[in-house]
Chain A
Amino acid sequence: MTAAGAAAPPTLAVEGLSTHFFTKAGVVRAVEDVSFTVDKGEVLGLVGESGSGKTVTGFSVLGLVDHPGRTVAGRILFRGEDLLAKSAAQWQQIRGSRIAMIFQDPMMTLNPVLRIDTQMIEAVQAHEKVSREEARQRARDALAQVGIPAAEERLKAYPHQFSGGMRQRVAIAIALINKPDLIIADEPTTALDVTIQAQILFEVQELCRKTGTALIWITHDLTVVAGLADKICVMYAGKIVEAGPIDGVLDHPAHPYSLGLIGSVPSRNKRGVPLAQIPGTTPSLLNLPPGCAFRDRCASAGEACGQEPDITLPLPDRPVRCHYPHAGTAP
């Protein structure tokens, strides 16, 4: 890390990341050549359909890809240091203390047979030599921070005594407890009802602004990122097909897939008109045929799409992976 603030590396810079799953049926290229950066205090929205590789990207950054998956190429530069070059023990020290993750399903992320305090205290003590009482105090503060009343009593409770929204708050409190530089949130509000979702979104946004924590928000819901993110990456079939500042991408999508995603947000439809949708389904990532993975579902597909498109920059700051990028008007 450099001393001068101006030259400081971004909190996270992912370069050419590829994570493949080596299954018996063949190689699944879940994440292929993915690059993005997140700066201090910045919120990056990672958007795509189910199975587009968003979650695997998040797990790759933490080094938590399950067997038979493996990160086969690329660099994950966390504050300038390549995580892939680190030993398992060093990476374990970074996980939970410098980079934290919030999972999708709050019903499943807390161990049902361990008390909340056990699960919070171990998160502190895994990284710092502090007394149990000190760790407990921090757990109490973290619970209060995410708006859980009577934190002291709730510490003694078991996960099943919390509602889904409360459990997700506990999970967020655990993610915040060591004041990380980066939080990866994998659809943390998908399993919650809309009012809770709004509260949690608001609180996470507040916390990041206050502490300067960078945030990667993984979601399939464009309306969620629209109000939250600074930047957006749209993923399709394991690749980033379009990236850029949130307003630019949402107002002037260049990739036909981004265009389709934005077009299928229900609130944009007129009453009585069938909901817009992207025809077809996501291709199987197993033995993906050569060429653009979106071409079978794409209205603008042409001759060149039999070839894999490279990343081009039709506008500055707006990388797009398409042979026929959209002219750039609002849909």
Chain B
Amino acid sequence: MSVFIIRRLMQSVLVIAIMGALVFFAVNVVGDPVDMLVNPEADQAEVERVLHALGLDRPLHEQFWFFVKNALRGDMGDSFIFGEPALKLIVQRIPATFELAVAALIMAVVVGIPCGVYAGLKPEARTSKAIMAGSILGFSLPTFWVGLMMIMVFAVMLGWLPSTGRGDTVQVMGIEVSFLTLDGLSHLVMPALNLALFKMSLVVRLARAGTREIVHQDYIKFARAKGVSEGRIILVHLMKNILIPVVTVLGLEFGNLIAFSVVTETVFAWPGMGKLIIDAINNLDRPIVVAYLMITVILFVTINLVVDIIYSLLDPRVRLGDLKR
């Protein structure tokens, strides 16, 4: 197990290094930030001054070494717009996005797995067909439209839920969270549901497909032949098997939830990372874009590592395959 983790960690470092180079050079190809920062009527001397101040007059490879040296010390540069460290700006926004993503993931699992298993066990039932039809809607309706409709119905017409912002927050270990106050919770429900809808549909489909396959396996019938109760067969024999694909996919999707909750955050004015990155891209604020992409890369690498570890806990065959090597 530890050999496995060490090897995976080394792979992870390599991936992060390669991504760092790619991101840095790619961002430098796009647009000229000076155009955005300097008054269009400024003279050449003013442009030169800004270029020099930002270090953009140096050759690209020097800029890169400067970036790498600082990045290793945890400094991703200052935002061109805000003049503050890019990393700090992003980290400030992480808890909001993270909270939203976790809430969405929990919703997706808690609703998706039981619905999917039910639809898999009773594929002919009317309820199952309704669940599957619902999951197609969840897949195909665009997130922004569903978000707007939710605001229309629950905030404007019914007036049950607030439409924007995080509401009251509480500090837990120095981090602002919404879900511990009633007001915060009411702010969280709609955006989380909006973000969860797609994942929920995905989980329903995965759980249903898994159930349909597993339920016809001999070992399920053998468990019945042992006289094991139906409840235990579903909760232990079936569930542990269908969790393998669900965990794999959800791990990857969790990264997506965090990194690309841009649409939902924009619709519900949720003060997370998504909003920040959209503004940064519009303003060609390179340090923020680079820092954001690096965080995303590290996030995905970490999640993949965690998924592999959970996976090996769920499926003993993965564990043995590794020990043999």
**Cβ of B58 under 8 Å from chain A:** no
Q: Using Cβ atoms and an 8 Å threshold, which residues of chain A touch B219?
A: 108-112
Given A113-B315, A158-B316, the answer on whether A126 and B226 have CB atoms closer than 8 Å is: yes
Q: Flag whether A262 is at the interface (Cβ < 8 A).
A: no
The yes or no answer to B221 lying at the interface (CB within 8 A) is yes
On whether A95 and B225 interact (CB within 8 A), knowing A109-B218, A112-B219, the answer reads yes
Cα A119 to Cα B236 in complex, Å, equals: 10
Q: Residue-by-residue, is B219-238 near A (CB-CB < 8 Å gives 1, otherwise 0)?
A: 11111111111001000110
Report if B73 contacts A (CB, 8 A).
no
In whole Å, how far is A229's beta carbon from the nearest beta carbon of chain B?
Answer: 22
What B residues does A113 contact at CB under 8 A? 240-241, 244, 314-316
Known contacts A110-B219, A111-B219, A113-B316: does B225 contact A100 (CB below 8 Å)?
Answer: yes
Give CA–CA (A94, B236) in the complex, Å.
Answer: 21
A78-108: CB near B (< 8 Å → 1, else 0) gives: 0000000000000011111100110101001
Residues of A with C-beta under 8 A to B216: 66
Contact with B along A270-307 (1 / 0, CB 8 A): 00000000000000000000000000000000000000
Closest B residue to A109 using CB positions: B222
A-B contact number at CB 8 A: 82
Q: Are B218 and A95 in contact (CB under 8 A)?
A: no
The answer to whether B320 has its CB under 8 Å from any CB of chain A is yes
Q: A62 contacts the other chain (Cβ, under 8 Å)?
A: yes
Q: Which residues of B contact A226 (CB under 8 A)?
A: none
Whether B222 and A103, one on each chain, are in contact in the complex, defined by CB atoms closer than 8 angstroms, is: yes
Contact mask for chain B residues 271-289; partner A; CB cutoff 8 A; 1 contact, 0 none: 0000000000000000000
| CB <8 Å contact, B315 and A122 | no
Complex CA distance for A171 and B222, rounded to whole angstroms: 9
Q: Which residue of B lies closest to A92 (CB)?
A: B227
Residues of A within 8 A of B220 (CB): 111
CB of A117 to closest CB in B, whole Å: 13
Contact A108 B320 (CB under 8 A): no
Question: Which residues 288-325 of B sit at the A interface, judged by CB distance below 8 A?
Answer: 314-317, 320
Determine whether A114 belongs to the interface, using a CB cutoff of 8 Å to chain B.
Answer: yes
- Closest CB of chain A to B318's CB: distance in Å? 10
Determine the residue in chain B with the shortest Cβ distance to A106.
B218
The yes or no answer to A161 lying at the interface (CB within 8 A) is: yes
- Chain B residues 203 to 229 lying within 8 A of chain A, measured CB to CB, are 216-229
Q: Do residues A96 and B225 form an inter-chain contact, with CB atoms below 8 A? A: yes
Whether the pair A96, B217 counts as a contact (CB closer than 8 A) is no
Range of interface residues on A (Cβ < 8 Å): 20 to 34
Question: Across the interface, which residues of B come within 8 angstroms of A109, CB to CB?
Answer: 218-219, 222
Give the residue name and chain of the A residue nearest to B316 (CB). A158
Closest A residue to B237 by CB, please name it.
Answer: A111
Residue among B219, B315, B316 with the highest chain A CB neighbour number at 10 A: B219
Q: Does A138 contact B (CB under 8 A)?
A: no
The chain B residue with its CB closest to the CB of A108 is B218
Given the interface pairs A103-B218, A105-B218, A122-B232, the reply to whether A112 lies near B317 with Cβ below 8 Å is yes
CA distance A101 to B227 in the complex (A): 11
Known contacts A111-B237, A161-B320: A103-B227 contact under CB 8 Å: no
Report the minimal beta-carbon distance from A132 to chain B, rounded to whole angstroms.
15
B316 near A122: Cβ-Cβ < 8 Å: no
Determine the chain A residues whose CB is within 8 A of the CB of B226 once the complex forms: 95-96, 100, 122-123, 126, 174
Contacts of B217 on A, CB cut-off 8 Å? 108
- Taking the complex as formed, is A127 at the interface, i.e. its CB lies under 8 A from any CB of chain B? yes
Q: Assess whether A97 is in contact with B227, with CB atoms less than 8 Å apart.
A: yes
Using A126-B226, A160-B316 as known contacts, say yes or no to A114 and B240 having CB atoms under 8 A apart: yes
B218 touches A126 (CB 8 A): no
Give the distance to chain A from B216, nearest Cβ to Cβ, in Å: 8
Chain A residues with Cβ under 8 A from B315's Cβ? 112-113
Measured CB to CB, the nearest residue on chain B to A88 is B230
Contact of B227 among A96, A108, A161 (CB under 8 A): A96
Complex formed: what's the CA distance from A110 to B218 in Å? 8
A64 within 8 A of B: yes
Contact, CB under 8 Å: A126 / B240? no
By beta carbon, the residue of chain B nearest A112 is B317
**How far is the CB of B166 from the nearest CB of chain A, in Å?**
40
B93-119: which residues lie under 8 A (CB-CB) from chain A? Answer: none
Give the residues in chain B near A110, CB-CB below 8 Å.
219, 222
- Smallest CB–CB gap between B125 and chain A, Å? 12
The chain A residue sitting closest to B217, CB to CB, is: A108
- Chain B residues lying within 8 Å of A126, measured Cβ to Cβ, are 226-229, 232
Q: How far is the CB of A181 from chain B (nearest CB, A)?
A: 14
User: Nearest chain A CB to B115's CB is how many angstroms away?
Assistant: 21
Q: Within 8 Å CB of B227, what residues of A?
A: 92-97, 123, 126-127
What is the distance, in angstroms, from B122's C-beta to the closest C-beta of chain A?
10
Task: Please pick, from A66, A105, A123, A160, the residue contacting B228 in the complex, using a CB distance under 8 A.
Answer: A123
Complex interface: chain B residues within 8 A of A66 (CB): 216, 221
CA distance A139 to B315 in the complex (A): 23
Residues of A near B244 (CB, < 8 A) are: 113
**Are B316 and A96 in contact, CB atoms less than 8 angstroms apart?**
no
Q: Which of A100, A115, A160 has the most CB of B within 10 A?
A: A160
Q: Which residues of B contact A171 (CB under 8 A)?
A: 222
* Residue positions of A touching B, CB distance < 8 A: 62, 64, 66, 92-97, 100-101, 103, 105, 108-115, 118-119, 122-123, 126-127, 158, 160-161, 171, 174
> Known contacts A109-B222, A111-B241; can you find 19 more A-B pairs with CB under 8 A?
A66-B221, A92-B227, A96-B228, A97-B227, A103-B218, A103-B221, A103-B225, A105-B218, A108-B218, A110-B222, A111-B240, A112-B219, A113-B240, A114-B237, A123-B227, A126-B227, A126-B232, A160-B317, A174-B226
15 cross-chain CB contacts under 8 A: A62-B225, A100-B225, A103-B221, A105-B218, A108-B218, A111-B240, A112-B315, A113-B314, A114-B236, A119-B223, A122-B223, A122-B226, A122-B228, A123-B228, A160-B320
Top 10 A-B residue pairs of the complex, sorted by shortest distance between their CB atoms: A96-B227, A108-B218, A96-B226, A158-B316, A95-B227, A123-B226, A111-B219, A101-B225, A109-B222, A126-B227
